[in-house]
């Protein structure tokens, strides 16, 4: 397993994993029309634009195939946020997610408080709790006319 900075050639796989993850994980949580409208071409364009803006986007490769990705950004000198952390369904539960979480904590700044937001009804959110995430704030957002609850996970700064 290898984690590296994403390149343009990776974005079709990133888009595929992102769209498939949303459709499988959020079905029954988010409106079907929102999930059904997600498509590979549009998602790839979003990621191309993010990469062009300098996004901190990383991919996880297993035997030359991209099986997951994560992105994040620095909020300020003390705080950074993981924006995305997704793996294709067949590669969940293999330990890659924890390696990617640790990697993102490292590249975003081990001296920083790291946070991420997760859909509260996401059945996979226990992953964050099992790997050191403490629940923080909660909020709701409108997606496709439906209120979706979100929960923040906070990861402590690493001591040197």
Region of 30 (left: φ > 0; alpha: ψ -120 to 50; beta: rest) is: beta
Secondary structure percentages of the chain, helix, strand, coil, to 5: 40, 35, 25
pLDDT at 93: 81
pLDDT at 133: 95
Q: What are phi and psi of 133, to 5 degrees?
A: -75, 130
Instruction: Please check the confidence at residue 68 and state whether its pLDDT lies above 80.
Output: yes
Instruction: Please check the confidence at residue 158 and state whether its pLDDT lies above 80.
Output: no
pTM of the model: 0.92
Least trusted range by pLDDT, from 35-39, 85-89, 155-159? 155-159
């Amino acid at each position: 397993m290898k984690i590296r900075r994403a390149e343009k050639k990776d974005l079709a796989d990133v888009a595929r994993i992102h769209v498939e993850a949303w459709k499988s994980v959020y079905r029954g949580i988010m409106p079907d029309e929102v999930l059904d409208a997600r498509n590979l071409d549009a998602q790839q364009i979003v990621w191309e634009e993010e990469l062009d803006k300098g996004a901190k986007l990383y991919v996880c490769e297993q035997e030359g195939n991209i099986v997951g990705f994560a992105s994040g950004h620095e909020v300020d000198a003390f705080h950074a946020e993981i924006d995305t952390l997704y793996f294709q369904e067949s590669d969940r539960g293999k330990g890659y997610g924890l390696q990617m979480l640790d990697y993102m904590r490292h590249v975003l700044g081990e001296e920083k408080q790291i946070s991420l937001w997760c859909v509260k009804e996401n059945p996979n959110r226990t992953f964050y709790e099992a790997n050191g995430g403490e629940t923080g704030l909660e909020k709701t957002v409108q997606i496709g006319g439906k209120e979706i609850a979100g929960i923040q996970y906070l990861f402590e700064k690493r001591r040197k």
